[in-house]
Amino acid sequence: MLVQSNGRSRDDRPTASLADPQATVRQSLRHYLESAGAVRVLAEAGDLAQLATLLEWQPPQILLLSGHFGMSLPRFVRMLRHMPVMLPPNESRGSRVVVYGLGWDRELILALARAGVDGLVADDASVQELVEAIHRVLRGESFASARYGGLLLRELQRWTVLQEGQLGVRLTRRETQLLQLVASGLSNKEIAGVLCLAESTVKNRLSLLFDKIGVKDRTQAAIFALANGVLHQPFPTAQGTLSEA
């Protein structure tokens, strides 16, 4: 279900859209945020597909997304970053993104950070902390609940080491394809389907790729891709089949 707001025409509160699979939570949060004057909710949605449709005609200044959507969130945020949508009124960039209600799923937190989420709010945070996150993100800052500070700092340190140690690595077309797909969160089986390869072949080639770029796992590979601009390159194709070496 998607509900549109008939807010006041001269309302100068920041605009937001809210997505949460739990209707009661979604509606209660909307009521609180509007009553507190934090935002004016343009619309609410129960799933990310509905929200994507909404953004095509009325982008808000900020998106508030529930952590209950799990690993579908990083892919959704990446899609937003590459999707040609209208800019919110008086904005020079697309909608900012805050994810709330996050637990302690290390891979999800790091995937969201890599995807470019502006705010990460834990599931034990108060509503006041969420409001603070909204205000700071709208000012152009980043926000993360205190419990994620150590994790993000360690990842930043790893990222710095990777950047310093991997300058000058040149990737082939196939290696670039593999790295982009891994960094986008695809499994070996999904990558095999995209590239028309056997899953065992994908596993072997990823092992060789990880050795070449000096990483130990998929998380480090994604950091390498982000640090070296691989995620922002067009997906490399060539004449002939994708299954060619």
pLDDT of 237: 55
Q: φ, ψ for residue 16 (rounded to 5)?
A: -145, 155
CB 45 within 8 A of CB 2: yes
pLDDT of 241: 33
- The full set of domains in the chain, from first to last, is 3-147 (3.40.50.2300), 168-245 (1.10.10.10)
Give the separation between CA 105 and CA 218, rounded to whole angstroms: 16
DSSP code, position 24: H
pLDDT of 116: 84
Residue 215 — very low, low, confident or very high, per pLDDT cuts 50/70/90? confident
Give the separation between CA 242 and CA 197, rounded to whole angstroms: 8
The predicted model gives 70-94 an average pLDDT of: 74
Structure token digits, residue 97 = 């993104």
- Closest by CA to 225, choosing from 193, 177, 189, is 177
Entry pTM: 0.65
pLDDT in tens, 166-176: 556 788 888 88
Angle between the 218-227 and 149-165 helix axes, to the nearest 10 degrees? 70
pLDDT in tens, 129-181: 999 999 999 998 989 999 988 877 777 666 665 555 555 678 888 888 898 88
pLDDT of 160: 60
First to last CA, the chain: 47
